[in-house]
Amino acid sequence: MNHTLERWNTTKSTDTYGVDEWSGGYFHIADNGDLMVMPAPGKKKRAVSIKEIVEGIRERGLDMPVLLRIENILDSQIAALNNCFTHAMEVLHYQGKFMGAYPIKVNQQQQVIEAITHFGSRYHHGLEAGSKAELVAAMGMLTDKNALLICNGYKDQEFIDLGLYASKIGYKCILVVEMPSELPLIIQRSRALGATPLLGIRIKLAAQAGGHWGESGGERSIFGLNTTQMIEAVDLLSREGMLDCLQMVHYHLGSQISNIREIRTAVNEACRVYAGLAMEGANVQYLDLGGGLAVDYDGSQSNFLSSRNYTLNEYCTDIIEAVMTSLDEVNIPHPTIITESGRALVAYYSMLIFNVLDVTRFQPEPLPEILPDTCPAQIRNMYDSLQELSIRNMQECFNDIIYYRDEVRQMFNHGKISLRERSLAEKIFWTTINEVARLAGELKHVAPEIADIERVLSDIYYCNFSVFQSLPDAWAIDQLFPVMPIHRLNEKPTRKGIIADITCDCDGKIDRFIDRKEVKRFLPLHELKNGEEYYLGTFLVGAYQETLGDLHNLLGDTNVVTVRVLENGEYEFVGELEGDSVADILSYVEYDPKNLIVRFRKTAEKAVRNGNITPQERREIMQAYEMGLRGYTYFER
Ligand SMILES: *Cc1c(COP(=O)(O)O)cnc(C)c1O
């Protein structure tokens, strides 16, 4: 039996990569070792091998990396959110209803908005726009007049006018007052355009959530009205005879709220405000809780930043109960509950697939039998220390080897030892470190610096993608995403590695991985096989990653492929977007590709005149240059 197949099976891979914990039911490992995507959780018959899709993509001529979207997952997530709220409302005898609005900023791509409005229409799932451009997109895409069109964000006259026109056409467009100064302008423009606006007020909550994005709540939050400003708004609307228009209370606590307690506290406070406005005579009917529904990226089900300590059902139930408790007390009818969940709707539906280009290992190299006579004492000491290494003196040897290694470096810098001698010292060093790691593996408890050797010795897998372009949150805010191979999962992953991208930037890497308890510093991976691609995937990347990415090292948008899985388990390609070419990228930074060709041709012609190249060679070189401009910005096989 092949040694890597020994005592390994797909169940162990499922466990190693935590698939059942983070996958939301959308992924599982097949017996042949392929990772399968399963748009209807639990329906294994309707599952497709991701590797098969990837091979299909390559056969059609698109290269890695590719952002792969599974359209039906979006459908399933929209259904899950709406059904869960509706079901919980029935169970709890809630008198109002639920309506969702997808916040465009979470993934603005037309394909995404199109799919959401399409799948969402049976629930009247609406859209939330936070800027003029988003509103323009929303008005173009939303056709369901029963769905909500919620306008947040700082509004100028143009923004307000667009919203009012949307109302006139018949959209349920709600202008949310984010700043006190917006209200007089909205009133003035409504009069001018003869429109009756639907108004909401964004409130500042005292309750503040922790985490990266929690700043949106709290007294110091940038947007929203404080209590005094709310009262002033009510008085103004009342003077203008428009208090009827004020129908919604809105807040947004921040994204990825891991702790259910913070969600509950905020709902409570918002209900008090809602009740207060009702008592002031406002015609409130909608309570909009914004986003915040978190994704369990690491599968730990905890209040860790990349997780959440609640299920979707608990989220819905807790919100409904909190609203009922607050409002029943003061006899105020139950509002329509709105959430603007973005992350939770779209995260699952995209994955980034890339191939591994190369691996660096930190392995011992063969050492000489005896050291040369001229060998400096420090190197000799290192060698002796290695010979004597055992479990009992492991710590001492480890300390010695580091001490001598530093000394050898010093001597090298002072010109006292040669390059060849330094190389010998380094070989001894890595041999010793590997040996210490092996011995430490036999012990239950080891010192932290020795335990850390495992990380230091992990391989570097060079992968064909850019963290900056495709996983900006992994770089900017240390967001964790599940990463794993998409095939060979019936083989034991015998290596431990970290992932480096092709930007050659020391930040262009993934060296923190999901774990049930903490953050893992390396990922179990397979050895590369000669002549065979090794594909990895980063999952749950559908939210926020696509447009926050940047052009670091001029690596552009990746190819994007959208797949729909059919009832019979087959699948079809429903969308293909070619990624940026080199010419595209260069024009983003203001180059004119045609002008570049002209300039380079002059340089090449000069070389012909100087006799460096023949005219024939000039032609070949120019062809290569122009091909380069048309090519993909990533590594092409
Ligand atoms: C960003 C944002 C959202 C989306 O939040 P998620 O946590 O991604 O669901 C919703 N509403 C507003 C006002 C936002 O700014």
DSSP H/E element including 159: helix 157-169
- Ligand 1 atom 5 nearest Cα: 291
pLDDT band at residue 6 using 50, 70 and 90 as cut-offs = low
Q: How far is the CA of 448 from the centre of ligand 1 (A)?
A: 40
Looking at the CA of residue 257, tell me the nearest atom of ligand 1.
Answer: 7
Query: What percentage of the chain reaches a pLDDT higher than 90?
Result: 86
Indicate the residue type of 408.
Answer: V
- Please tell me the distance from the alpha carbon of residue 538 to that of residue 404, in angstroms, as a whole number: 41
Q: How far is the CA of 70 from the centre of ligand 1 (A)?
A: 22
Q: How far is the CA of 226 from the centre of ligand 1 (A)?
A: 20
At residue 220, the pLDDT reads 61
Q: How far is the CA of 251 from the centre of ligand 1 (A)?
A: 10
Q: Does residue 446 carry a pLDDT above 90? A: no
Give the residues across from 149 on adjacent strands: 127, 173
Q: What order do you get walking across the sheet with 27-29 strand by strand?
A: 27-29, 35-37, 48-49
Question: Contact at 8 Å (CB) between 492 and 5?
Answer: yes
CATH topology (fold) of 94-345 = TIM Barrel (3.20.20)
Query: Which H, E and C letters describe 533-575, residue by residue?
Result: CCEEEECCCCCCHHHHCCCHHHCCCCEEEEEEECCCCCEEEEE
Among 125, 176, 252, 479, the mutation site with the greatest number of ligand 1 atoms within 8 A of its Cβ is: 252
DSSP per position, 573-627: EEEEE---BHHHHHHHTT--HHHHHHHHHHHHHHHHHTTSS-HHHHHHHHHHHHH
pLDDT tens digits, 343-400: 999 999 999 999 999 999 988 889 998 898 999 999 999 999 999 999 999 999 999 9
Whether 343 is in the pocket of ligand 1, judged by its Cβ within 6 Å, is yes
pLDDT band at residue 637 using 50, 70 and 90 as cut-offs = confident
Q: Does residue 58 carry a pLDDT above 50? A: yes
- Residues 476-487 have a mean pLDDT of 95
Whether 549 is in the pocket of ligand 1, judged by its Cβ within 6 Å, is no
CATH 2.40.37.10 fits 1-73+349-360+462-579, yes or no: yes
Whether 433 is in the pocket of ligand 1, judged by its Cβ within 6 Å, is no
- Residues 275-291 have a mean pLDDT of 97
Looking at the CA of residue 105, tell me the nearest atom of ligand 1.
Answer: 1
DSSP H/E element including 351: strand 350-360
Domain boundaries, the chain: 1-73+349-360+462-579, 94-345, 377-455, 591-630
- Ligand 1 atom 6 nearest Cα: 291
Whether 545 is in the pocket of ligand 1, judged by its Cβ within 6 Å, is no
Q: How many CB atoms lie within 10 A of CB 530?
A: 4
Q: How far is the CA of 515 from the centre of ligand 1 (A)?
A: 26
Whether 290 is in the pocket of ligand 1, judged by its Cβ within 6 Å, is yes
pLDDT band at residue 207 using 50, 70 and 90 as cut-offs = confident
At residue 1, the pLDDT reads 47
- Residues 470-491 have a mean pLDDT of 95
Whether 129 is in the pocket of ligand 1, judged by its Cβ within 6 Å, is no
463 is catalytic: no
DSSP H/E element including 29: strand 27-29
Question: Contact at 8 Å (CB) between 502 and 555?
Answer: yes
- Residues 443-456 have a mean pLDDT of 88
pLDDT tens digits, 546-564: 888 888 889 999 999 999 9
Q: Tokens in use for 148?
A: 């909500």
Among 91-105, 234-248, 432-446, the range scoring the smallest mean pLDDT is: 432-446
pLDDT band at residue 215 using 50, 70 and 90 as cut-offs = low
Question: Contact at 8 Å (CB) between 216 and 223?
Answer: yes
pLDDT band at residue 527 using 50, 70 and 90 as cut-offs = very high
pLDDT band at residue 315 using 50, 70 and 90 as cut-offs = very high
- Ligand 1 atom 15 nearest Cα: 252
Higher per-residue pLDDT: 237 or 505: 237
Backbone φ and ψ for 62, nearest 5 degrees, come out as: -95, 140
Whether 508 is in the pocket of ligand 1, judged by its Cβ within 6 Å, is no
Q: How far is the CA of 255 from the centre of ligand 1 (A)?
A: 6
Whether 106 is in the pocket of ligand 1, judged by its Cβ within 6 Å, is yes
Q: How far is the CA of 350 from the centre of ligand 1 (A)?
A: 18
Whether 255 is in the pocket of ligand 1, judged by its Cβ within 6 Å, is yes
Whether 103 is in the pocket of ligand 1, judged by its Cβ within 6 Å, is yes
CA torsion through residues 424, 430, 434, 437, sign: positive
Look over the chain and give the mean of its residue pLDDT values, rounded to a whole number. Answer: 94
Higher per-residue pLDDT: 222 or 394: 394
CATH code reported for the domain at 377-455: 1.20.58.930
Catalytic residue among 271, 375, 504, 506: 504
What's the length of the chain?
637
CA 445 to chain CA centroid, nearest Å: 36
